[in-house]
């Protein structure tokens, strides 16, 4: 979304302050919701790995949002406010992902913790999954740092002069951000100790693979220079595979 020019009498930094406030609010809102959908099914708040996950998630989202708001305000506006011009098929896919996460994966993890449906996962394995989850925040931040058009929803950002991102991880993969998110989704059930929650996590991953296919087709048709870029960078999500 194109940023509006400050009107007469408006402090030049007021828009940035509002963006920072929105970044903080959005980073806090989802972890607060996860408190409910995780701990209510679990029937207890004494769940160290769930608290470690939530704290890490809150910290990662907050740091990325604040960094974008300060260093990349145009991208921050694009990500924090889903534009009306977003592709409808993509908004439907985002809705499916949200349902799978908030209504299935996290409550199922809570019930699994409560009733012990899954065999015990070694603490070292859960901590490794948590570290993978954290590392993917860094990978996404790297992707964002070289792609000013890393939107939260698929659309042609002609109002922002969208061009092809070809630096950093985009030298090897066309959609590195999606790879990072898929790995995070798969790491969550292992962190929380639930093999059963891997089922909705895999379903979310499948949705993102489908989203990758549709977005790639969209960019090939709509974004100038993307076809040439796709010829140079063959792989979408997995280096050497696909």
Residue 239 resides in a domain: no
Residue 1 resides in a domain: no
Residue 84 resides in a domain: yes
Cβ-proximal residues to 178 (8 Å cutoff; 6+ apart), any chain: 208, 211, 212, 237
Is this model's pTM higher than 0.85 or not? yes
Residue 184 resides in a domain: yes
Report the CATH number that the domain containing residue 24 is assigned in CATH.
1.20.120.1630
pLDDT, one tens digit per residue, over 23-59 is 888 778 887 889 999 999 999 999 999 999 999 999 9
pLDDT, one tens digit per residue, over 77-133 is 888 776 666 889 999 999 999 999 999 999 999 999 999 999 999 999 999 999 999
Please give the radius of gyration of the chain, using alpha carbons only, rounded to the nearest integer.
19
Question: What is the band of 144 on the pLDDT scale with cuts at 50, 70, 90?
Answer: very high
Residue 237 resides in a domain: no
Count of domains forming the chain: 1
Residue 147 resides in a domain: yes
Q: Domain range holding 136?
A: 14-232
Residue 217 resides in a domain: yes
Residue 2 resides in a domain: no
Give the Cα separation of 158 and 133 in Å (integer).
33
Which long-range contacts does 156-161 make (Cβ < 8 Å, 24+ apart)? Answer: 156/85, 156/218, 156/222, 156/223, 157/78, 159/1, 159/2, 160/1, 160/2, 160/74, 160/78
Give residue 15's pLDDT.
Answer: 57
């Amino acid at each position: 979304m194109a940023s509006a020019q400050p009107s007469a009498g408006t402090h030049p930094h007021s828009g940035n302050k509002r963006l920072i406030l929105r970044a903080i609010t959005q980073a806090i809102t989802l972890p607060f919701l996860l408190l409910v959908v995780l701990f209510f099914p679990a029937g207890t708040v004494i769940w160290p790995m769930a608290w470690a996950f939530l704290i890490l998630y809150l910290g990662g989202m907050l740091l990325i949002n604040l960094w974008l708001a300060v260093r990349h305000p145009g991208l921050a506006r694009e990500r924090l406010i889903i534009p009306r011009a977003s592709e409808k098929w993509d908004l439907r896919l985002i809705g499916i992902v949200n349902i799978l996460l908030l209504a299935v994966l996290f409550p199922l993890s809570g019930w699994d913790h409560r009733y012990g449906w899954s065999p015990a996962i070694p603490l070292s394995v859960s901590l490794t999954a948590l570290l993978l989850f954290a590392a993917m925040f860094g990978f996404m931040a790297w992707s964002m740092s070289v792609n000013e058009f890393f939107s939260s929803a698929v659309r042609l950002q002609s109002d922002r002069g969208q061009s092809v991102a070809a630096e950093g991880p985009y030298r090897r993969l066309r959609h590195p951000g999606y790879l990072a998110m898929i790995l995070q989704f798969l790491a969550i059930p292992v962190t929380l100790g639930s093999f059963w929650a891997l089922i909705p996590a895999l379903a979310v991953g499948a949705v993102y693979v489908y989203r990758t296919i549709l977005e790639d087709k969209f960019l090939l048709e709509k974004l100038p220079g993307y076809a040439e870029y796709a010829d140079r960078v063959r792989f979408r999500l997995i280096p050497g595979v696909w």
